[in-house]
């Protein structure tokens, strides 16, 4: 069948409009990927050179799926399209052109851990309080500046920024920003934001390079356009200036990433920059029931800033949305788990058909506890990914330093792993010299003999070893990777650790090497399309650019999926539970300062509902634990914005049945939807189970760290449970508790007063 015959009229019109600026507004479940795919197929069938097509996505997964579909339609020509994430495409351009802006071609890409480590180092050197200058907050502020193309020099030179920093008690932030950028540059490293900033800088300062890519990319397509930030849009606009054959695809109703710098004005104001734009609206939903589509529309229509559309579906009417009211968050978890169990039995559904979506990660605890009690398997998405595990990052650190020896973060990570007698004091001496001469640590290490330091033979041996690895870089990626793993001593060190944790670490390293082997089997191609073996540089570039979606989303296993709504965007499930619909939780208390913030929260709720194919269940609690204390909660305003004709309320304590619609509409402020007795709020509630670890340490040399500054997202080591990731903290003083996901022991709630932890 002709591919055009499979499209509805709106889809077909969007596919056939190849030339000129095009905006495709794709409602939830409207077949957006099919339109994107067939639009490129249509271009190729109409004589467009695939090398002249640039297709930008937000995940490698989306690019891979599109490329596969195009391959099925047109064959090997699909391999010649420039298709990938913004960061991967811009990284590819920078690999070719980076020397124009002073970077080596094998520049390192820092992930958030690398950046945070560097910030901590600089804070120590500047003698700044890391409680006031929290590394994660500082990185967030640096990222926000870069997303709007403000350089460190511009920031330092702006008196308004300086005054704001001084009034907030952080007068040295500008200097911290500048030092961070200088150190990245000296290390031949870029963080993710630099891939955008430096591409923009390359095009702005080297017009010949810009002209080259403007004429190379005659046709540009941008997926998820509502998620683009200012820097991304400015680069796209520059590239599209000559030909203006730019098609942007997105849905303003699903713009939910302002905290990452996404700017909804890009899609709302696209017509101002491209007045001749032709707009197509994909309004037919193929995913959800009529009830779900109509209920979602009844909420999102409350937003003022939007492109008006009427989403509809030919699917079955479906069940009304169930609304559960619980007394506590623990009660809410039990209700959700019970509902999943019943739906599984009644509909012969599988675990993977269900998703539990929440506003914040901390809400997962009560859900997990309830699912475990009913023996329902589940998986939490957004936790520690494979490529963030210490043993994996250690071996990747070796690969990084071989490719780019100036990469200081990688160097510090591996120089004494496995132990080779290079102490902290020696490194500090070398670092002082490096800083005095404004050169990299590696450059000092190369000349350690000439500097006059004594007892530096271990440093010399390390330099010799790395240079021997560099001599192999033109060989096949797997051969090089395995040689480094063996010759560095990493594999031997891991193999000799026969503890449960040690065996797991060895297996993870083995899995990494197996992945490299698989990667090596698919030949790459140079700029002229000539096949060549994959190199270590190819693999590291690929790994560095993996997005969270590419790392975590595995829907092949039969488990219930738990994740934040932000993580769920782009996914779909037959049954969706949206939990914690309470004021100050959803919408978040942090997002009630302006109409724009509230509208983004409403879009987030819209995204949550539209993930569902068959059934949506919404729940809220009238009380919830916060920092160890019980606080009263009231239902979210979003519940009152849903058209009541699409809802079915179920009382926790009474028989099932719909509540009075008049009452529902009238309770916008008090929001007491079920008429529970007032004194129900004074009932004794089950306390969350915690663990106080007081056993004697397994390792007599284990030294615990001070955990008063422990934060969510930190990695820790426990003497019995091994390595873990801190997911959330609650309580104060002696009652402070941490929820930690340990690699081997699973999730534990530990009282920090008693738990002996080492911060990694």
Tell me, what's the pLDDT at 720?
A: 78
| pLDDT per residue as tens digits for the range 182-240 | 999 999 999 999 999 999 999 999 999 999 999 999 999 999 999 999 999 999 999 99
Tell me, what's the pLDDT at 626?
A: 67
Tell me, what's the pLDDT at 529?
A: 45
- Model confidence at 327: pLDDT above 50: yes
Query: In whole angstroms, how far apart are CA 9 and each of 4, 280, 283, 511?
Result: 10, 10, 11, 47
pTM equals 0.75
> Which residues are identified as catalytic?
32-33, 223-224, 254, 611
The whole-number average pLDDT for the span 699-720 is 82
| pLDDT per residue as tens digits for the range 450-463 | 776 777 888 999 99
Q: How far apart are CA 614 and CA 196, in angstroms?
A: 40
**Confidence bin at 602 (pLDDT 50/70/90):** very high
Pair of tokens at residue 323: 């609304």
Which residues, 6 or more positions from 467, have their beta carbon under 8 angstroms from its beta carbon?
none
Q: DSSP alpha helices (H): ranges in 584-674?
A: 595-609, 637-641, 661-666
- What is the DSSP code string of 31-93? -HHHHHHHHHHHHHHTT--GGGEEEEES-HHHHHHHHHHHHHHHGGGGGGSEEEEHHHHHHHH
Pair 172, 222: CB distance under 8 Å: no
**Confidence bin at 746 (pLDDT 50/70/90):** confident
- Model confidence at 547: pLDDT above 70: no
Look-up of token digits 């969706």: 576
- What is the DSSP code string of 490-545? HHHHHHH--SHHHHHHHHHHHHHHHHHHHHHTS-EE-TT--EE---HHHHHHHHHT
- Model confidence at 695: pLDDT above 90: no
Q: Which is nearest to 575 in space by CA: 312, 357, 253?
A: 357
Residue 656: CB atoms within 10 Å: 9
Pair 616, 292: CB distance under 8 Å: yes
- Model confidence at 627: pLDDT above 80: no
Tell me, what's the pLDDT at 699?
A: 62
Tell me, what's the pLDDT at 53?
A: 95
| pLDDT per residue as tens digits for the range 346-404 | 999 999 999 999 998 878 888 988 998 899 999 988 755 677 788 999 999 999 999 99
Pair 209, 100: CB distance under 8 Å: yes
Tell me, what's the pLDDT at 384?
A: 54
Give the residue, 647 or 628, on which the prediction is more confident. Answer: 647
- Model confidence at 693: pLDDT above 80: no
- Model confidence at 446: pLDDT above 50: yes
Percent of the chain predicted with pLDDT > 90 = 58
Q: How far apart are CA 368 and CA 379, in angstroms?
A: 9
Reported as half-sphere exposure (CB side, CA atoms, 13 A), residue 96 has a value of: 11
Q: Which is nearest to 177 in space by CA: 198, 146, 208?
A: 146
Q: Running DSSP on this structure, what letter comes out for residue 455?
A: S
**Confidence bin at 552 (pLDDT 50/70/90):** very low
Q: Is the peptide bond before 587 cis (omega within 30 degrees of 0)?
A: yes
The whole-number average pLDDT for the span 482-496 is 93
Tell me, what's the pLDDT at 492?
A: 92
Give the residue, 436 or 636, on which the prediction is more confident. Answer: 636
Lowest mean pLDDT among 11-25, 43-57, 533-547: 533-547
**Residue 737, H or E segment:** strand 737-742
- In this structure, the dihedral spanned by the alpha carbons of residues 580, 581, 583 and 586, taken in order and rounded to 10 degrees, is 80
| pLDDT per residue as tens digits for the range 57-72 | 988 888 888 988 898 8
Q: How far apart are CA 480 and CA 687, in angstroms?
A: 54
| pLDDT per residue as tens digits for the range 70-87 | 988 888 888 899 999 999
Which strand ranges, in their side-by-side order, compose the sheet holding 573-578? 378-380, 560-564, 354-358, 573-578, 612-621, 321-326, 647-650
Pair 252, 262: CB distance under 8 Å: no
List the beta bridge partners of residue 582.
635
Lowest mean pLDDT among 89-103, 121-135, 374-388, 632-646: 374-388
Highest mean pLDDT of the ranges 47-61, 359-373, 543-557, 682-696: 47-61
Average pLDDT across the chain, whole number: 86
Q: Which is nearest to 628 in space by CA: 362, 364, 336?
A: 362
**Confidence bin at 722 (pLDDT 50/70/90):** confident
| pLDDT per residue as tens digits for the range 15-38 | 999 999 999 999 999 999 899 999
Query: In whole angstroms, how far apart are CA 160 and each of 165, 175, 261?
Result: 9, 15, 21
Tell me, what's the pLDDT at 760?
A: 85
Q: How far apart are CA 563 and CA 552, in angstroms?
A: 11
- Model confidence at 677: pLDDT above 90: no
Q: Is 303 helix (H, G, I), strand (E, B) or coil?
A: coil
């Amino acid at each position: 069948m002709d591919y055009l015959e499979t499209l509805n009229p709106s889809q077909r019109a969007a596919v056939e409009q190849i030339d000129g600026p095009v905006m495709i507004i794709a409602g939830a479940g409207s077949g957006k990927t099919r339109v994107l795919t067939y639009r490129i197929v249509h271009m190729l069938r109409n004589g467009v050179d695939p090398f002249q097509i640039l297709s930008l996505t937000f995940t490698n997964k989306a690019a891979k799926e599109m490329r596969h579909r195009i391959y099925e339609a047109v064959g090997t020509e699909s391999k010649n399209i420039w298709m990938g994430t913004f960061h991967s495409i811009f990284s590819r351009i920078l690999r070719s052109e980076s020397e124009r802006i002073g970077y080596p071609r094998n520049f390192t890409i820092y992930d958030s851990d690398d950046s945070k480590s560097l910030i901590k180092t600089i804070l120590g050197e500047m003698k700044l309080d890391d409680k006031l200058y929290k590394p994660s907050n500082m990185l967030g502020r640096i990222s926000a500046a870069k997303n709007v193309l403000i350089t460190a020099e511009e920031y330092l030179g702006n008196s308004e920024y300086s005054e704001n920093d001084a009034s907030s008690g952080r007068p040295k932030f500008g200097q911290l920003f500048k030092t961070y950028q200088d150190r990245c540059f000296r290390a031949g490293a870029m963080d993710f934001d630099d891939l955008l900033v430096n591409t923009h800088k390359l095009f702005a300062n080297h017009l010949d390079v810009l002209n080259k890519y403007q004429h190379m990319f005659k046709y540009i397509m941008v997926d998820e356009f509502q998620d683009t930030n200012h820097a991304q849009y400015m680069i796209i606009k520059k590239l599209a200036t000559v030909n203006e054959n730019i098609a942007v695809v997105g849905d303003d109703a699903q713009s939910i990433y302002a905290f990452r710098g996404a700017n909804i004005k890009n899609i709302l104001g696209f017509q101002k920059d491209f007045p001749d734009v032709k707009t197509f609206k994909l309004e037919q939903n193929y995913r959800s029931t009529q009830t779900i589509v109509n209920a979602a529309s009844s909420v999102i229509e409350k937003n003022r800033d939007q492109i008006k559309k009427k989403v509809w579906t030919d699917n079955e009417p479906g069940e009304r949305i169930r609304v559960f009211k619980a007394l506590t968050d623990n009660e809410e978890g039990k209700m959700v788990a019970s509902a999943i169990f019943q739906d599984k039995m009644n509909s012969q559904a599988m675990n993977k058909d269900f998703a539990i979506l929440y506003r914040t990660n901390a809400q997962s605890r009560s859900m997990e506890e309830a699912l475990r009690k009913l023996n329902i398997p589940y998986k939490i998405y957004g936790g520690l990914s494979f490529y963030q595990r210490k043993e994996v990052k250690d071996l990747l650190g070796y690969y990084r330093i071989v490719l780019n020896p100036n990469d200081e973060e990688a160097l510090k990570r591996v120089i004494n792993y496995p132990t080779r007698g290079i102490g902290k004091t020696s490194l500090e001496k070398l670092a002082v010299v490096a800083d005095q001469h404004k050169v990299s640590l590696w450059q000092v290490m190369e000349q350690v003999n000439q500097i006059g330091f004594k007892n530096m033979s271990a440093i010399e041996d390390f330099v010799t070893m790395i240079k021997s690895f560099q001599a192999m870089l033109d060989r096949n990626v797997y051969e090089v990777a395995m040689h480094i793993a063996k010759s560095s001593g990493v594999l031997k060190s891991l193999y000799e650790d026969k503890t449960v944790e040690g065996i797991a670490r060895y297996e993870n390293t083995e899995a990494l090497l197996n992945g490299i082997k698989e990667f090596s089997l698919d030949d790459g191609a140079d700029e002229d399309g000539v096949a060549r073996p994959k190199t270590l540089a190819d693999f590291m570039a690929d790994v560095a650019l993996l997005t969270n979606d590419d790392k975590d989303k595995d829907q092949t296993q039969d488990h219930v999926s738990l994740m934040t709504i932000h993580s769920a965007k782009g996914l779909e499930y037959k049954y969706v539970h949206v939990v914690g619909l309470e004021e100050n939780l959803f919408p978040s208390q942090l997002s009630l300062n302006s109409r724009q913030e509230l509208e983004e929260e409403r879009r987030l709720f819209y995204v949550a509902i539209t993930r569902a194919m068959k059934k949506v269940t919404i729940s809220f609690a009238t009380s919830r634990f916060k920092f160890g204390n019980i606080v009263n909660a009231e239902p979210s305003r979003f519940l009152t914005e849903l058209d009541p004709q699409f809802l079915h309320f179920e009382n926790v304590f009474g028989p099932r049945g719909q509540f009075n619609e008049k009452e529902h509409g009238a309770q916008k402020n008090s929001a007491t939807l079920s008429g529970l007795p007032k004194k129900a709020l004074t009932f004794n509630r089950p306390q969350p189970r915690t663990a106080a670890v007081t056993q004697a340490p397994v390792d007599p040399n284990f030294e615990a760290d001070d955990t008063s500054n422990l934060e969510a997202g930190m990695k820790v080591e426990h003497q019995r449970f091994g390595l873990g990731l801190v997911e959330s903290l609650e309580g104060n003083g002696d009652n402070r508790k941490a929820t930690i996901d340990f690699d081997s022991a699973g999730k534990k709630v530990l009282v920090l007063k008693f738990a002996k932890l080492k911060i990694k």
